[in-house]
Amino acid sequence: MIGEKASVEGAVSSFLGMWSSTLVFLPIGLFLTIKATSDSSLLNSESWIKGLNKIRNLLTGHKFENK
């Protein structure tokens, strides 16, 4: 409804108003589908901590160890 309302008010083009929800939810849906098909532990805190540490290592250039 937000995209349709913005389109009617002229804030965005009608094309973008129609497809805005798809542009938002498509990456989320693809991510969840990939995680579900690979039996990944999406809610496992250890896997999130490892992933965040990898990102932090890439950004800072340091190696942090898990305790």
**pLDDT tens digit string along 10-54?**
787 878 878 888 888 999 999 988 888 887 776 678 888 888 888
User: What is the structure's pLDDT at 19?
Assistant: 84
Between CA 18 and CA 16 the distance in angstroms is: 5
How many whole angstroms separate alpha carbon 25 and alpha carbon 22? 5
- Measured in degrees and rounded to the nearest 5, phi and psi for residue 4 equal -65, -45
CA-closest candidate to residue 23, choices 48, 2, 51: 2
Size of the chain, expressed as the number of residues it contains: 67
At residue 55, does pLDDT exceed 80?
yes
Q: Name the DSSP letter for residue 1.
A: -
Task: Match 């579900």 to its residue by tokens.
Answer: 36
